């Protein structure tokens, strides 16, 4: 696999495969719509599709509850206070997105959001309420009004996942295939989505590489945090959906905008594992960040100190870690007291104690970690990608809502809104593709030994702090890994290949965007530029070359 230069002509990138498998599935089953992923986007989409009368098959890589949703601590942002307005929510969203939000996507989300939260409550999600029965609403960073509903204090994701899981299990026309890795999109002779190939781990007839033929496919595979050494995403979040979409010829966009959460719990020797998140609400209640000399390094760095925007705090923490030669900084919440920590933050306090750290008496080691991908598979306002019959939702999608930086708690809201719109679009249009064909293009996979060096290269050169020099070093490392081809197709090598595909696309976009905007920080271009008010769309050409096109905002 030989490298090629990107559109700027100054960085070498690996060629990428167009298929993970070149042969036909050994078994097939049929459904109306195949949904890939079992987080809030996947399960909500399945339930909405059932209301529209479709039979649904949900494919999930591990267990139905092993995605990112259950780890969400914050909540869902929606206008539920009579004193709040959709227009105010829209402004806050656009400010966070630093000029790159799609106004139409923002309008759809903030207007339809309250109704979708009501749907979730109707399904059985129990959010925290006041004694009079009204919903408790809180604020998070970037919001100028109380519009965040939450559950169990800091366990919102777990409650939403519980409610959705229960609703899905009650419906006999939703089939769930667990422990299945999706490989490639199946298409008909006209290039329309007609299902997916997948590998199922297990015994019996339906195991090995098979296929689910469908009238439409929805990608709800979550994030791509595992391309970095430290991430709050679970081990399954390697960007499978984005990689599949790229191989299928779909566009992805805004991949350079990865939000790094500044305070993930630092765990030594835990590369590849999920880093537990320390919610920023603890800093909102007065916790401090300190370096190894005890200094509160955010004081003087920003007028809001520890309450500065996430990108500012993550950048400052990374710079201080570099200067001190340390892998983490410290979060000091000791002065908040036992009652506050145990009652307001039971989840955080519990997992810290399980690891031998008591935030009541101990400093907590924290470090920035990849948290959320604002970009993904490019969609329109109905969740449609650039491939007919292929849809995307949730963190795997780029609807245009987030722009250059996601506003806190808008992610779950986006999934609720756009999965409803996907179901409505499918109900109206009812696609009817022809028989699936074996895809064209070169098929190969990376060695399993590629994963650790890829994560190291991405963290060093395309992580919190980036520059032309660091990104070119990352691209060179990725090109070398693209030459490290294994002849043994299996889940580990397919995952390594997906990681290489997504990492290559992200690196190309980050190298091309020569400015600092939102969650993309270029040390050699530290200011935002009006010349870069727009979006980078990436796709894989017939020969595996990564093509980049520019669209002004």
Q: pLDDT tens digits for 342-391?
A: 998 888 999 899 999 999 999 999 999 999 999 999 999 999 999 999 99
Provide mean pLDDT across the span 171-197: 96
Q: Of 142-156, 221-235, 390-404, which has the strongest mean pLDDT?
A: 390-404
Instruction: Please check whether residues 349 and 209 belong to one and the same domain.
Output: no
Answer with the residue of higher pLDDT: 471 or 148. 471
Confidence of residue 553 (pLDDT cuts 50, 70, 90): confident
Is residue 199 situated within a structural domain?
A: yes
Q: What whole-number distance in Å separates Cα of residue 88 and Cα of residue 107?
A: 11
Instruction: Please check whether residues 76 and 172 belong to one and the same domain.
Output: yes
Is residue 287 situated within a structural domain?
A: yes
Tokens found for residue 505: 């696309």
Q: Is 82 exposed, middle or buried (0-12, 13-18, 19+ CB in 10 A)?
A: exposed
Phi, psi of 46 (to 5 degrees): -60, -45
pLDDT of residue 408: 85
Confidence of residue 1 (pLDDT cuts 50, 70, 90): very low
pLDDT of residue 509: 98
Give the distance from CA 238 to its chain's centroid: 9
Instruction: Please check whether residues 304 and 351 belong to one and the same domain.
Output: yes
Picking from 520, 524, 540, the residue whose alpha carbon sits closest to that of residue 532 is: 520
pLDDT at 539 over 60: yes
Answer with the residue of higher pLDDT: 64 or 151. 151
Q: What whole-number distance in Å separates Cα of residue 108 and Cα of residue 90?
A: 10
Please give the tally of structural domains in the chain. Answer: 3
pLDDT at 58 over 90: yes
Phi, psi of 513 (to 5 degrees): -80, 100
Q: Are 73 and 156 in contact (CB under 8 A)?
A: yes
Q: What whole-number distance in Å separates Cα of residue 309 and Cα of residue 332?
A: 19
Q: Are 257 and 374 in contact (CB under 8 A)?
A: yes
Question: 3-class DSSP state for residue 56?
Answer: strand
Q: Identify any residues that bridge with 57 across adjacent strands, giving them in sequence order.
A: 34, 175
Answer with the residue of higher pLDDT: 24 or 414. 414
Which of 61-70, 123-132, 189-198, 466-475 has the lowest average pLDDT?
A: 61-70
Question: Which residue intervals of 207-337 are DSSP H helices?
Answer: 240-247, 281-284, 310-324
The packing angle between helices 240-247 and 491-512, to 10°, is 80
Beta strands of 8-78 (E only): which ranges? Answer: 12-14, 28-30, 33-36, 56-59, 76-77
pLDDT at 311 over 60: yes
Is residue 26 situated within a structural domain?
A: no
Which helix (H) or strand (E) is 160 found in, with range? Answer: helix 156-169
pLDDT at 71 over 90: no
pLDDT, averaged across the chain: 91
pLDDT of residue 144: 86
The predicted-structure confidence for 92-136, as pLDDT tens digits, reads as follows 999 999 999 999 999 999 999 999 999 999 999 999 999 999 999
pLDDT at 307 over 90: no
Final residue in a domain of this structure, among 485, 500, 516: 516
CATH number at residue 162: 3.50.50.60
Tokens found for residue 303: 């007028």
pLDDT of residue 7: 47
Is residue 545 situated within a structural domain?
A: no
Q: What whole-number distance in Å separates Cα of residue 364 and Cα of residue 339?
A: 17
Residues recognised as catalytic: 310
- Report the predicted TM-score, pTM, of the whole model to 2 decimal places: 0.92
pLDDT at 423 over 80: yes
Instruction: Please check whether residues 215 and 150 belong to one and the same domain.
Output: yes
Picking from 104, 105, 150, the residue whose alpha carbon sits closest to that of residue 126 is: 150
Instruction: Please check whether residues 82 and 176 belong to one and the same domain.
Output: yes
Is residue 544 situated within a structural domain?
A: no
Instruction: Please check whether residues 64 and 148 belong to one and the same domain.
Output: yes
Listing DSSP states for 210-236 in one string gives EEEE-SEEEE-----GGGSSSBSS-TT
pLDDT at 495 over 70: yes
Instruction: Please check whether residues 330 and 382 belong to one and the same domain.
Output: no
Tokens found for residue 226: 């595992």
pLDDT at 403 over 80: yes
pLDDT of residue 303: 86
Instruction: Please check whether residues 93 and 213 belong to one and the same domain.
Output: yes
Unique residue bearing structure tokens 């267990």: 63
Instruction: Please check whether residues 239 and 379 belong to one and the same domain.
Output: yes
Q: Which domain, by its residues, includes 313? A: 264-369
Is residue 442 situated within a structural domain?
A: no
Provide mean pLDDT across the span 513-531: 96
Instruction: Please check whether residues 172 and 305 belong to one and the same domain.
Output: no
pLDDT at 538 over 90: yes
CATH number at residue 321: 3.90.700.10
pLDDT at 15 over 70: yes
Instruction: Please check whether residues 151 and 270 belong to one and the same domain.
Output: no
pLDDT of residue 5: 47
Provide mean pLDDT across the span 152-166: 86
Sheet arrangement for strand 174-177? 174-177, 56-59, 33-36, 216-219, 390-392
pLDDT of residue 72: 59
Beta strands of 315-434 (E only): which ranges? Answer: 329-332, 364-373, 376-378, 390-392, 397-398
Q: How far is CA 137 from CA 83, 84, 123, in A?
A: 12, 11, 20
pLDDT at 24 over 90: no
The predicted-structure confidence for 244-255, as pLDDT tens digits, reads as follows 999 999 999 999
pLDDT at 318 over 70: yes
What sign for the dihedral angle of Cα 88, 91, 95, 96?
positive
How do beta strands 546-552 and 288-290 pair? unpaired
pLDDT of residue 9: 47
Picking from 86, 101, 85, the residue whose alpha carbon sits closest to that of residue 517 is: 101
Q: What whole-number distance in Å separates Cα of residue 384 and Cα of residue 393?
A: 9
CB proximity list for 132: less than 8 A, separation 6 or greater = none
Angle at the Cα of 488 from the Cα atoms of 484 and 490, rounded to 5 degrees: 110
How do beta strands 193-200 and 485-486 pair? unpaired
* pLDDT cut 90: percent of the chain above it: 75
Q: What whole-number distance in Å separates Cα of residue 527 and Cα of residue 304?
A: 20
Confidence of residue 234 (pLDDT cuts 50, 70, 90): confident
Provide mean pLDDT across the span 69-85: 82
Final residue in a domain of this structure, among 350, 369, 388: 369
Unique residue bearing structure tokens 């109900």: 427
pLDDT of residue 8: 44
Instruction: Please check whether residues 453 and 357 belong to one and the same domain.
Output: no
End-to-end CA distance of the chain: 35
Is residue 13 situated within a structural domain?
A: no
Is residue 124 situated within a structural domain?
A: yes
């Amino acid at each position: 696999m030989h490298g090629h230069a990107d559109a700027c002509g100054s960085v070498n990138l690996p060629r990428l495969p167009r298929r993970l498998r070149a042969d036909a599935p050994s078994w097939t089953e049929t459904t109306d719509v195949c949904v890939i992923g079992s987080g809030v986007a996947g399960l909500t989409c399945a339930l909405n599709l059932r209301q529209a009368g479709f039979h649904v098959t949900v494919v999930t890589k591990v267990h139905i509850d092993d995605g990112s949703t259950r780890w969400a601590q914050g909540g869902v942002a929606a206008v539920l206070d009579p004193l709040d307005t959709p227009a105010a929510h829209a402004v806050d969203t656009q400010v966070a997105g630093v000029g790159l939000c799609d106004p139409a996507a923002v309008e759809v989300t903030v207007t339809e959001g309250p109704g979708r939260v009501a749907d979730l409550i109707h399904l059985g999600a129990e959010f925290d309420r006041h004694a009079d029965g009204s919903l408790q609403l809180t604020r998070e960073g970037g919001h100028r009004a109380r519009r965040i509903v939450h559950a169990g204090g800091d366990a919102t994701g777990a409650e939403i996942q519980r409610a959705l899981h229960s609703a899905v299990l009650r419906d006999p026309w939703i089939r769930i295939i667990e422990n299945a890795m999706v490989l490639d999109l199946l298409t008909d002779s006209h290039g329309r989505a007609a299902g997916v190939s997948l590998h199922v781990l297990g015994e019996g007839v339906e195991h090995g590489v098979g296929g689910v033929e469908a009238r439409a496919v929805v990608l709800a595979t979550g994030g791509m945090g595992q391309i970095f050494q430290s991430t709050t995403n679970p081990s399954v979040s390697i960007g499978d959906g984005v990689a599949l979409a790229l191989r299928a010829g779909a566009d992805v966009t805004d991949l350079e905008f990865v939000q790094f959460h500044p305070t993930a719990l630092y765990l030594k020797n835990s590369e590849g594992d999920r880093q537990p998140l320390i919610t920023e609400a603890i800093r909102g209640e007065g916790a401090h960040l300190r370096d190894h000399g005890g200094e509160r390094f955010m004081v003087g760095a920003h007028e809001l100190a520890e309450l500065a925007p996430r990108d500012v705090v993550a950048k400052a923490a990374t710079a201080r870690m570099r200067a001190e030669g340390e892998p983490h900084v410290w979060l000091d919440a000791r002065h908040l007291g036992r009652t506050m920590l145990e009652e307001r933050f039971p989840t955080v306090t519990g997992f810290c104690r399980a690891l031998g750290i008591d935030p009541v008496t101990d400093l907590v080691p924290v470090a920035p970690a990849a948290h959320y991908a604002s970009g993904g598979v490019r969609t329109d306002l109905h969740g449609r990608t650039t491939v007919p019959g292929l849809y995307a939702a949730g963190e795997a999608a780029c609807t245009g809502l987030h722009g250059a930086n996601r506003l806190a708690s808008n992610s779950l809201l986006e999934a609720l809104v756009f999965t409803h719109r996907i179901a409505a679009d499918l109900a109206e249009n009812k696609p009817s593709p022809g028989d699936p064909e074996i895809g064209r293009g070169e098929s190969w996979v990376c060695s399993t030994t590629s994963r650790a060096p890829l994560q190291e290269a991405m963290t060093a050169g395309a992580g919190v702090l980036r520059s032309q020099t660091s990104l070119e070093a990352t691209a060179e490392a990725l090109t070398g890994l693209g030459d490290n081809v294994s002849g043994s197709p299996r889940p580990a090598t397919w995952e390594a290949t997906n990681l290489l595909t997504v990492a290559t696309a992200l690196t190309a976009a980050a190298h091309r965007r020569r400015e600092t905007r939102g969650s993309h920080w270029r040390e050699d271009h530290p200011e935002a530029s009006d010349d870069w008010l727009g979006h980078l769309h990436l796709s894989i050409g017939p020969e595996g070359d990564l093509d980049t096109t520019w669209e002004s905002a």
